[in-house]
A and B are shown apart, each in its own frame.
Chain A
Amino acid sequence: MAEMMVQVSQLTKHFGQVLALSNVSFGLERNEIVGLLGNNGAGKSTLMRILTTFLPATSGTAKVDGFDVLNQSMEVRNRIGYLPENIPLYPEMRVEEYLVYRAQLKGMDRSIRHGRIDEIIERCRITGVRKRLLGTLSKGFRQRVGLADALLADPKLLILDEPTDGLDPGQKQDALALLKELGRDRTILFSSHLLVEVEAIVDRVLILKRGHLAFNQRLAALERDQLMLVEAKGESGAIVGALRAVVASHPIETQSLEEGWVECSVRLPEGFDPRAEVARLLVERSLPLRRLDFRRRTLQDRWNEINNAEAFPSGGAPGAANRGKPQIARVD
């Protein structure tokens, strides 16, 4: 598929004994905004470093705009803008000097360079600090300078490692709006810890879990899924049995609540609404019903499913709220 912006197939990366990425394959289309999610240590930065040609993969291939990151690294580097985690900058340089330096390194032509730098400075809103030393900038301005650098050569692919990390809420909004705007005519791959912000702007979501690609879907597809929530009192087997009679083989998850109440969530395809049927059947079987609800399945739901899929979930799940919750048993 030559028209893909990024094509990754069976990418594996070992650091000594540690498996950082395992058999990861995906493709990103042009002009797609892609959110890369995962816990700390899930392999997000490693994946990005491989795509930016900084690190080689142990096995598998990755292509950017049709060029192999290992063998055609210069072609790839000409097409990407990269903002690493923690935004390393030279403290003794001034903002404008740094951008001129980076533009020269990227081989931008003299005739367009200064106009372009002025434009980027305006766009990333660092006009007020253009004469400041990089070492004296606050985190928010560092992020913007790093982003300005990544944008300089007008790359087709932007790779941003946690671009909103450490920003205050207002700055986050600004940064996301800027990404959304930039994503109109380029591909953006960015990683984040915050599901909400990812959900707000991305077209596609990738979730890495301990080096495995656990989820890869367009958000539009995700939104078509919906959940039916049922809270009834009784033996969970009986309740599930009643539900099965209506929804057949669609996946059901149960969770025990207080005083014998059981919550069941049923994943349903779009347009299928069996609520009346369920209510009738539960009442028929004398199972008290207190909630019968329809809800879009959010990214958070998928996140929880993925991260709770094993008996011992990996530490540091972002939705700290779900840590205290009882374990969800899968019944599908």
Chain B
Amino acid sequence: MSQPVDRLSSNSSGITASGGPSDLIAEDRSLPPTLGACGAVMVMVGLFGVAMHFAERAFPVGPSVGLVGALLGFLLLMVHAALERSEAILLAYLGLGALLMVAGMAALVSGSLFLEGRALGAGGFLVGLPLALAASRSLGLGEKKRKDQSVRLAAVWAPRVIGLLGAIGALAGILWLFMLAERGDFTNLGLPTLVALFSLIAVLGYLGLVGLSSDTAYKLGWIACYVGMGLAAAVIVRSGLHAWGVWRAQGASHFIPGGWIILALSLLVGLGSFALVSESPAVVVFRREMAAFFLSPIAYFVMMAFALGTWTSYSLFLDRLADRQVLEPILGNYVIELFIVLCVLFGVPLLTMRLLSEEKRSGTLEVLLTAPVDELSIVLGKFFAALVTYLIIWLPFGLYLLALPITNQPGFDYRPLMSYALALVVSGAGFIALGLALSSLSSNQLISGALTLTAMILLLSPYILQFRQGIEGTAWSTVLQHVSFLNLWESSLEGKLVPRQLVFHISLAVLSLFVATKVLEARRWQ
């Protein structure tokens, strides 16, 4: 994860291999350009589709599919940028990323290009940042072989400029907030907060790239963490005060609609920087597991499957919207869908099966458990890494929803998304913890995966069983309702969060984590 850019040039001495088989030996050389080409085509076709939509011309690729396609295409470009070694291509990526970031930030601040300018600006910024960072990292990796001084400078300075501008942006945003507050203007706090948060995300990206070996970077990371957490706390307190009528700023926006976006973003920044800088064993294990997911193709393949599954269900959803056959909650038609359920059924085992099995098989568990780390930290680190990966894999799903309003579809009530997001986290925690516990039982990944798949099917069955004759209407039916994750999803999409439906999934998660810890400890009993 961390490759200190400054020290890249210091590794010349040594008895072997400085010019020998290099980083790419394990990676397939033909794969990155192919991914890049696919990504470029997807971006171009997708953006063309969006442009055609705004120009009101007919084009086979609709605007929403085009937008999502473009975003996925950018994802492929990022993968290519991370693996490519050719200077010209990397510089092009660096330029493209920088352009997207600048344009995105400009659109975010002005918000006047057209109605959805801010959303598109935010998207552009978030796509451009990792693209630029990935390209400059790759430029830095091959630094020894590069003769061109300007390329070297680009590799070293591009991330620094991003980090510096991010820090300036964050400070400016926070100063802006204070100025508005001083003037007693509480109506426009959203924009400066967003600017500050996006700038902090850029700072985090920079920190993630250069690593936290320097004390400055380390301290910056903690500052970002505290700022993010502070902003989150401020939103909660402010919304709470508002909700109970203790204090109402004149016309100030509260939790809905702006507050929760800021809350989510500031939590992202706060927790993200905590995950980057903290050195408690669980977080260290978490970082390694995240790297294992995203440095190997597994996360990307599962993500691809999810993107396809959600795309299918999204297009069916659009058809139904066009036929006006939808009942509230509209989103229920999108989520409770065969393809999405299938993706979850198969996706969870794919993510969890290697967690402990692989370590047992390869013997790395022995190295891990003879370091001064307790079993619980290892289990928690792995659990949160898999859970976060699982949630990241849901991103395409969210992207389609973002695309929906931009394409002039009938508006939908987005507020249930908040309760749905919570339901997704809670049910996901249950799945992932269960998979982790099952992965601790075997040193064979396939066995762990098959066990988890069985368990997932068992978890799905209550949804179907509750309507069977002889069960429907009895107490069993109620029990099954509380156990079924699809029931939880359904009611959360209606905007309800029923605690008794959460209980089962939370206890499943806690129990499974307990079991996994005990299984690891069990080698020491007898």
Contacts and interface: CB of A to CB of B under 8 A. Distances in A.
B114 interface: no
B410 interface: no
Given A127-B14, A129-B17, A102 B526 contact: no
A82 interface: yes
B363 A84 contact: yes
Nearest to A102: B371
B392 to A, nearest CB: 18
Interface residues of B, number: 45
B15 A104 contact: no
Contacts of A129: 14, 16-17
Contacts of B367: 82, 84, 88, 149
Given A54-B366, A110-B218, A125 B14 contact: yes
B372 A128 contact: no
Contact of A105 (B3, B215, B373): B373
Nearest to A174: B15
B21 A136 contact: yes
Interface string A14-52: 000000000000000000000000000000000001001
Nearest to A88: B363
A100 interface: yes
A68 to B, nearest CB: 12
A88 B1 contact: no
Contacts of B188: none
Contact of A56 (B291, B364, B524): B524
B316 interface: no
Interface in B1-41: 1-3, 11, 13-18, 21-23, 25-26
Q: Is the interface of B mostly helix, strand, loop or mixed?
A: loop
Contacts of A82: 366-367, 370
Interface string A101-129: 11011110010001000000000011111
Contacts of A128: 11, 13-18
B372 A107 contact: yes
A133 B26 contact: yes
A166 interface: no
A4 interface: no
B292 interface: yes
A101 B288 contact: yes
Given A86-B363, A127-B13, A77 B284 contact: no
Interface string B358-379: 0000111011111111100000
Contacts of A126: 14
B523 A55 contact: yes
B281 A105 contact: yes
B458 interface: no
B525 interface: yes
19 contacts: A55-B523, A55-B524, A56-B525, A56-B526, A58-B526, A82-B366, A88-B362, A88-B363, A88-B364, A90-B288, A105-B373, A107-B279, A110-B218, A131-B141, A132-B21, A132-B22, A133-B25, A136-B25, A149-B367
Interface of A: 49, 52-56, 58, 70, 73-74, 77-78, 80, 82, 84, 86, 88-94, 97, 100-102, 104-107, 110, 114, 125-133, 135-136, 149
Given A88-B367, A132-B23, 18 more contacts: A54-B366, A55-B524, A70-B524, A84-B367, A88-B362, A90-B288, A92-B296, A101-B284, A101-B288, A104-B279, A105-B284, A105-B372, A127-B13, A127-B14, A127-B15, A129-B17, A131-B3, A136-B21
